Structure 1
Amino acid sequence: LAAGLDDIAVRFAGKRLILVTTHRRENFGDGMAQIARAIGRIAARDDVAILFPVHPNPNVVSVMDSILGDRANVARVEPLDYPHFVRALGMADIVLTDSGGVQEEAPALGKPVLVMRETTERPEGVTAGTAKLIGADEDRIVSEIFTLLDDKAAYAAMAHAHNPYGDGHAAEQIAKVIAHAGR
């Protein structure tokens, strides 16, 4: 898997990388078709590449196969294990997802998250500005991605927003508490 990500990094060097994940039942059917069409429109830009670990559910795979097909700047890959997924998050400029967990992980790496849902069980990210609910509408997805690609201030506002899920130093803080508790 690491070699595959290395190859993708070389293949897409100089392009803005968008990491896409989608698997939610609420997006099956028309929502998934709209997502696929949006990805196709976004991929038409020469300055963009898309890394898409495709969920194996036939409701995802069949739609992506029929609408997206093969595109030069879309790397559809098998689902990534956690360490490789975190590496992919680090490589990405923007994250487009319907995953709850990804909404928590991406802000730790300073990645704007566009959430293809109408609601989220992680509203803290939306409130803090690290994530934005955009639904699964094709035009809205394209518009929001293009805004982040073309508007440096909009990108920076999300990328540098306060991470509501922690500062990345929890282990250090816990170790200090334990060390002082024994005194």
Structure 2
Amino acid sequence: MKRAILLITDSGGNIGRRCCPCRPVLSARERTERSEAVAAGTVRLVGTDQATIICEAAWLRNGPSVRTETSRAANPYGDGTATLRIRDILVNAC
């Protein structure tokens, strides 16, 4: 996934984790409970139609400026380092 240009998922959990930082995500779903990711621009909700998914993936693959903009959008769920920060707080508290 680190070498991927983009990610396609049908999982709301993967959207929340954003699978791999700095990669645009296409959500192959009609609806999502993760609307904040769509609003933030980290995820594009593309539905389940195969032709639409292919067109959206091609658009991201062939548009490096769009891909860069999407991948730099702030993740509304945090930066993925909460566990490390909590560990540091606990270690330094003793």
Which residue in 1 is equivalent to 2:72?
160
Q: 2:2 touches 2:20 (CA, 8 Å); kept in 1?
A: no
Using the alignment, how far apart are the partners of 1:119 and 1:144 within structure 2?
16
**Misfit runs of 4+, over 4 Å:** 179-182
Segments of 5+ residues of structure 2 without an aligned counterpart are: none
Distance, in Å, in 1 between the alignment partners of 2:34 and 2:45 is 11
TM-score normalised according to structure 1 size: 0.46
SS at match of 1:157: helix
Partner of 1:169: 81
Kindly name which structure, 1 or 2, has the bigger radius of gyration based on alpha carbons: 1
When residues 107 and 154 of structure 1 are mapped into structure 2, their CA distance, relative to the original with a 3 A threshold, is: farther
Q: Which has the higher contact order (CA 8 A, sep 6+)?
A: 2
1:111 to 23, 33, 39: 23
Deviation at 1:179, TM superposition (A): 4.6
Percent identical residues: 37
Q: Residue 154 of structure 1: CA displacement? A: 1.0
State whether residues 108 and 168 of structure 1, in contact with CA within 8 Å, keep that contact through their aligned partners in structure 2: no
Structure showing the higher strand proportion among its residues: 1
* 8 Å contact kept, 2:36–2:76: yes
Specify the alignment match of 1:144 in structure 2. Answer: 56
1:122 and 1:93 map into 2 onto residues whose CA distance is 22
Q: Is 1:102 aligned with 2:14?
A: yes
